[in-house]
């Protein structure tokens, strides 16, 4: 047992010594020169700016953003539909109702969403107020009460 421990200790001492020599003998990275930086920037089609120049450009960009005209709000009307889900209703049935009422664009997309996320068995009977600005995820959360 003593020989194994001595061999292990000798191995640890030897590996630590090798690592120390490699660490201290390794070439230290030299700082970059201005010529090297300029060559890199030119090769990659980039430029260097001083902090003052960068701050001036940021200020100019902020002023330009403030001067742009505000975007007109979306004037799409929101359709509201009171959906009644009875026990035993399948998703295709009420998805078609929502499509007919122009609350959703595609009934099969809603049905696919419910099937993909395994929510078809989690649908709860009840009356729900569904708006046309709701996403499929929001509709699913409402009708599954999750």
Domain ranges for the chain: 34-67, 80-144
**pLDDT reported for residue 11:** 94
- Mean per-residue pLDDT of the chain: 87
Q: With a cut of 90, say whether residue 8 has pLDDT above it.
A: yes
Distance CA 104, CA 122 (A): 20
CB 91 within 8 A of CB 123: yes
Q: Give the global pTM.
A: 0.49
What region does 74 belong to: left with phi over 0, alpha with psi -120 to 50, or beta? beta
Check residue 85 and report its DSSP letter.
E
Tens digit of each residue's pLDDT (9 = 90 or more) over 57-78? 888 888 877 776 566 666 778 8
**pLDDT reported for residue 64:** 79
Alpha carbon of residue 131 to chain centroid: 26
Tens digit of each residue's pLDDT (9 = 90 or more) over 125-137? 999 999 989 898 9
CATH architecture of 80-144: 2-Layer Sandwich (3.30)
């Amino acid at each position: 047992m003593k020989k194994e421990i001595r061999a292990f200790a000798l191995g640890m001492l030897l590996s630590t010594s090798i690592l120390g020599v490699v660490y201290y003998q390794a070439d230290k990275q030299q700082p970059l020169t201005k010529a090297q930086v300029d060559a890199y920037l030119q090769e990659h089609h980039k430029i260097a700016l001083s902090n003052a120049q960068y701050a001036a450009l940021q200020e100019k960009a902020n002023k330009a953003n403030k001067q742009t005209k505000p975007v007109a709000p979306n004037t799409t009307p929101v359709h509201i539909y009171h959906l009644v889900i009875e026990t035993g209703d399948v998703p295709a049935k009420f998805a078609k109702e929502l499509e007919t009422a122009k609350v959703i664009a595609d009934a099969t997309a809603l049905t696919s969403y419910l099937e993909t996320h395994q929510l078809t068995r989690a649908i709860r009977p009840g009356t729900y107020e569904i708006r046309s600005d709701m996403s499929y995820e929001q509709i699913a959360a409402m009708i599954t009460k999750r």
